[in-house]
Chain A
Amino acid sequence: MSTAAAVVLFIGIMAYAVFGGADFGAGFWDLIAGGADRGARPRSVIEHAIGPVWEANHVWLIFTWVVLWTCFPEAYASITLTVFVPLTIAALGIVLRGSGFAFRKTVTKTSSKRNFGAAFASSSVLVPFCLGAVVGAIASGRIPAGGVAGDPWSSWINPTSILGGVMAVVMAAYLASVYLTWDARRLANDDMVEYFRKRAVIAAVVAGVVAFAGIFVIHHDAPFLYDGLTSRGLPAIIVSALCGLGSLVLLMQRRPQWARVLAAGAVATIVLGWGMAQWDYVLPQTLTIAQAAAPSGTITAVLVATALAVVLLGPSFVLLYILDQRSLLPGEGVRDQASAPGSS
């Protein structure tokens, strides 16, 4: 039972890494797209790309929190007590990001667009960094069990956390650039295809280098995690590396459609690798999944809710996705109807 809950929890984290990660990464490219004139075209692709589903993706984060506090409340208490600072920054950053993006769409003045855009884009980098640092804190065993606070600073300012934060930003940027290449292709915007493709290649290489360097950081800083990654988690890490390489090759061959799938796979499996590496701990070496688990009634309820979600949301999500990918969801017809007399 508790194992199933832990699996559901990790599916939530993987989904947020892939879907949310792409959104955050788009913010990264928005940030470095340059001045108002030069950055206008890439920003336009970005706004277009994270359109329909951008806010739905935080649901994965909410889902992860809910499963964590419901099924593993002690771990949730320990985590929120210890890494209070990066989580607070992440929460505020999410507000700033969401409202910045929404407001930028609405205003017309260049200076207002710039201000809202800056809020959106800079928090798009800050939030994944903080969340990655939190993952680093958990994975390196710096969160104590028992619903008590660990060190408020060194728990997340340490080599593994910084690696986690940088990895999160790099992975998000990589994922987003591959997606954006594909989006630009769908929009038949060849300049932008090339623009994002170049950046995707660079991002893929950087992600690979950071991941490789990370091996040494983890070896030095978090031996338990290192052992896990090189044993239990190794298959996932290998798959992730292969996916990453594969996407790089496809990008070079200008086939972004499949590169996109492989990039998502690379990100999902590296999160999976982390999960397998610290199995069967929620908080490595102090709190196991079984110890932390809530009573069976609660876990059953969460699993039932998850099953319901799959049944209800699966089809609706597929519907939304199909409509979106076929561009059946374009304008919203105000002009069609508003051409009627006396309508203002």
Chain B
Amino acid sequence: MSIVGAADALVAVNPVPWARAQMAFTLAAHIILVPLGVSWAFMTLIANYRGLKKNEPESLVLAQRWSKYMAVTFAVGAVSGTVLTFEFGLLWPRFMGQWGEAFGVPFAFEGIFFFLEAIFISIYIYGWRRLKPWTHFWTGVPVVVSGILGAASVVAANAWMNEPSGFTLDSAGQITSVDPWGVIFNKAMPLQALHMIVAAYVVGGFLIASVYAMGMLRGRRDRYHRIGFLIPFTVAIVFSPIQMLVGDALARWVYNNQPVKFAAIELVPNTSSDVPETLLGHLNSDGTVTGGIPIPGLASWLSDPSTGKSTVVQGLNTVPVENQPTIAEVNVVHLSWDIMVGLGTFLALLSAWYALSWLFRRDIPKTRWFLRIAAITGVLAVITMEAGWVVTEVGRQPWIVYNLMYVENAATGNTGVWVTFLGVAVLYIGVAVTLILVLRLMSRRYRDTDGGDDDVPYGPRPSPRLDESSVG
């Protein structure tokens, strides 16, 4: 036991920051796969539809290849999602012990949608040859629907942490009854879920389009690449202005319902009216704001246009200091907000450029600069989404369940979390690098062989015989 004792002493480190780091890291990784899981099926079906309707072989080839890439990313997403179900307990056992009966409810429904998605992805991928073309097309539709509903369910659980409802507590703070409907459809859920689902379409669209933009920049200007670019890019540019509206509504909801998070977003230490919208800049520990470019009165005006600049914005100081995010957290929230809004606006402007060009010329803008920018939109969109997620999570600090449970009271007491964090970090980075290499390898092989098809994890079956050459 002395060895174990010594090992225990060696790893005895405060678990709270490490648990936060590990959860943040694994969620940040998982969330990149989410847009692809939610929206790629939709774009695949557009390609599939075009292929069948217009008898366009390039579209069908795209749909077939996308369905396979989709399978790889879905598989990795499924696995990283499984890890999250472990982590809820491994990192936040006291949160789950106390709130599991409420927080857990949306996941019961998420499970159904996830399962449906998995089953129909399998059917869709394997059905290419043997099902009738339109029957096969329709087997893809449940993938789209369950992706959307599954995302809504998961976001419902997160929204519940921001706006806990649907339960009653006894005097000791223990849950005595649960109203599942009230949990799922908590007040934060509708807008938050919509924001995430639209984000999935924007990010997924830009991500996929940027790959084909890259290909076109390298001179592959054939019809295949053109359609591969146009479908996802069009989806992304249709959804990005919608996202501006949804985001604006959500921000106003936060202003009305989560004033402390809003104060962090807008860098408002003390309650006041005529609050400027400060671009960049940071909050100091003495409560002053320095740096950045203040736009006078804009934050007030945006919060409630009907009262304009005289709109009062609550400051951080309206709650005791122990219920405020720390100064560092406030600055992280504000910076992330600026990044999200800034990049989101940039992407929407790009959409306008594209839309105008399409309106007048029925073509994408001629300049190479358009493709150059389009080629980086995938990365930009992912950064935008990650920033938005940081705003909602860090902005809730120090709470894990808003106004009911502190993060530090929710974490595990296991002092070895820093070790598991390092293990998870190494493993995830390794898997991520390999995934990118493997996807590149697949696409190169497609280009070289015009359709090698033995490379999806589902084990496609070129013939009922065993393909012995496929295993080295």
Q: Report which A residues bind B (CB closer than 8 A).
A: 36, 40-41, 43-45, 47-48, 50-56, 58-59, 61-63, 65-67, 69-71, 73-74, 76-81, 84-85, 87-88, 90-92, 94-96, 98-99, 101-103, 105-110, 113-114, 147, 149, 152-153, 187-189, 192, 294-298, 300-302, 305-306, 308-309, 312-313, 316-317, 319-320, 323-324, 327-338, 340-344
Contacts and interface: CB of A to CB of B under 8 A. Distances in A.
Contact of B177 (A51, A192, A295, A301): A295
A76 B89 CA distance: 7
Contacts of B175: 294-295
Contacts of B460: 51, 330-332
Given A73-B100, A73-B101, A295-B176, A309 B459 contact: no
B85 A65 contact: yes
A45 B6 CA distance: 47
Counting chain B CB atoms within 10 Å of each CB, the highest count among A54, A153, A188, A343 belongs to: A343
A334 B64 contact: yes
B461 A53 contact: no
Given A52-B458, A76-B96, A87-B90, A331 B453 contact: yes
Interface residues of B, number: 107
Contacts of A323: 123, 126-127, 130
A76 B451 CA distance: 48
A332 B458 CA distance: 11
A330 B129 contact: yes
Interface in B438-456: 438, 441-442, 446-447, 450-451, 453-456
B438 A344 contact: no
A187 B468 CA distance: 12
B455 A106 contact: yes
A337 to B, nearest CB: 5
A214 B98 CA distance: 36
B116 interface: yes
Contact of A73 (B90, B96, B446): B96
Counting chain B CB atoms within 10 Å of each CB, the highest count among A47, A61, A113 belongs to: A47
A106 B441 contact: yes
Given A73-B97, A77-B96, A94-B82, A113 B119 contact: no
A308 B112 contact: yes
B412 A55 contact: no
Contact of A298 (B83, B104, B458): B104
Contact of A62 (B85, B167, B450): B85
Interface stretch (B250-258, B292-300, B301-309, B413-421): B413-421
Given A67-B108, A77-B89, A323-B126, A344 B97 contact: no
A312 B116 CA distance: 8
Nearest to B67: A332
Nearest 10 A-B pairs (CB), nearest first? A80-B89, A77-B97, A73-B100, A329-B126, A51-B459, A70-B104, A340-B57, A294-B101, A301-B180, A147-B97
Interface in B98-140: 98-102, 104-105, 107-112, 114-116, 118-120, 122-123, 125-131
A320 B367 CA distance: 48
B173 interface: no
Given A43-B471, A343-B61, A70 B100 contact: yes
Interface in B156-194: 167, 175-180
B464 interface: yes
Contacts of A61: 82, 85
B60 A337 contact: yes
Interface string B307-346: 0000000000000000000000000000000000000000
Counting chain A CB atoms within 10 Å of each CB, the highest count among B104, B115, B179 belongs to: B104
Given A66-B111, A70-B107, A99-B79, 4 more contacts: A78-B93, A105-B459, A330-B130, A332-B64
A309 B79 contact: no
B88 interface: yes
Interface in B57-74: 57-58, 60-61, 64-65, 67-68, 72, 74
27 contacts: A44-B468, A50-B459, A51-B459, A51-B460, A55-B79, A55-B457, A73-B104, A77-B96, A78-B97, A91-B83, A91-B87, A102-B438, A110-B472, A298-B180, A301-B108, A302-B108, A309-B111, A316-B120, A320-B122, A328-B126, A330-B463, A332-B126, A334-B65, A337-B61, A338-B57, A341-B57, A342-B223
Contacts of A91: 82-83, 86-87, 90
A153 B1 CA distance: 10
Nearest to B428: A95
Interface in B21-74: 51, 57-58, 60-61, 64-65, 67-68, 72, 74
Contact of A313 (B65, B115, B123): B115
B456 A105 contact: yes
B331 to A, nearest CB: 33
A334 to B, nearest CB: 4
Contact of B86 (A74, A85, A88, A313): A88
B58 A332 contact: no
A110 B472 CA distance: 5
Given A95-B79, A330-B462, A113 B112 contact: no
B178 A294 contact: yes
A38 to B, nearest CB: 11
Contact of A343 (B58, B111, B179, B423): B58
B13 interface: no
Contacts of B472: 36, 40, 108-110, 113-114
